[in-house]
Amino acid sequence: MAANMKAVKLRIKSVQNTMQITKAMELVASSKLRKAKERSDNCRPYFKELYSTLQGIAKGNTDFSSVYTKASSSEKICYVLIAGDRGLAGGYNSNLFKCFEKDSKGKEYIVLPIGKKALEYAKRKKAEILSENFAEIADLSIADCFEIANVICREFKKGSFGKVSLVYTEFVSMLSQQPHAVPTLPLTEIFDDEDFEPVKELILYEPDSTEVFDAIVPEYLAGVLYGGVCDSLASEQAARRTAMESATSNAEEMIEKLNLTYNRVRQASITQEITEIVGGAEGI
């Protein structure tokens, strides 16, 4: 009986230590989430302004032609896969990889992983990797996004692949994060906006509209990548916060049950001792 009490007490202590860790991780994730959400909100106006400029050039010039808007003969797709650096974030990484597998099924592709988990996943799947230089998403800056965009645009113009898709997790709310596979190149989708009104007076670009457009596309792509990185970071922290909150709640419930078990065992031990004492006294 004493051995059972000791085992339950040790178990309670172990769960309490785990609960302290999960609670601390929940608080850290909450703090990081606020910063990540602010950064995500701050980068959106830049992306929208670039998008509007690209759309204006493409819609307002009848003689417009760019390599970034032409369908390529290559069916190969470059997936920019944005995942986390660590686990303990619920289904954040696994849901992203399921989205990637669904979109890439039956297609020829190459992967540019961002985040340690993305790199590990690409290596485990033995996928062709474009670059391993951006494997830590926590250290990724806007300058790194520009570098990634330049690498992708250079390879796209060379014909190494014909399409580019961004696979990331959109931050919807504190409790909802949605993985997406978004086509980014070629930019044919910007011509499909029916609500866009073309400019009445054509703007003159120096040296010409196509060169200006081609120069802006890497900037646009970097903005898209940075927006995806910011959204993914916010989504990861939100998922981790939710997972750690759930783990802390489960630990509290487990401790309550273990305390109840400990009290029952303790009461049974006391009852047995009293019974033995009474029995011994009657024998005397």
Side-chain half-sphere of 143: how many Cα atoms within 13 Å? 1
Residue 99 Cα distances to 94, 219, 256, angstroms: 9, 26, 39
Predicted pLDDT of residue 3: 61
The helix-helix angle for 209-283 and 2-60 (nearest 10°) equals: 170
SS3 (DSSP) at 26: helix
Residue pair 267/1 in contact by the 8 Å Cβ criterion: no
Question: How far, in Å, CA of 143 to CA of 196, rounded?
Answer: 31
SS3 (DSSP) at 212: helix
Which two tokens mark 130? 């474009």
Q: Sort 179 into a burial class: Cβ within 10 Å, 0-12 / 13-18 / 19+.
A: buried
Predicted pLDDT of residue 194: 47
Predicted pLDDT of residue 16: 80
DSSP 104-133: HTT--EEEEEESHHHHHHHHHTT--BS--T
Bond into 198 cis (ω within 30): no
DSSP 53-70: HHHHHHHH-TT---TTSS
Question: How far, in Å, CA of 219 to CA of 175, rounded?
Answer: 32
Residue 47 Cα distances to 123, 151, 157, 185, 219, angstroms: 32, 19, 22, 15, 9
Q: What is the pLDDT along the chain (284 residues), one digit of tens a residue?
A: 556 777 778 888 888 888 888 888 777 777 777 777 777 777 767 766 766 666 665 555 545 567 777 777 778 889 999 888 887 777 888 888 888 888 888 888 889 998 888 888 888 888 888 888 887 887 788 888 888 888 888 888 888 888 888 898 887 777 778 888 888 888 765 555 444 454 444 555 566 666 776 777 888 888 888 888 888 888 888 888 888 888 888 888 888 888 888 788 777 777 777 777 777 666 66
Predicted pLDDT of residue 204: 56
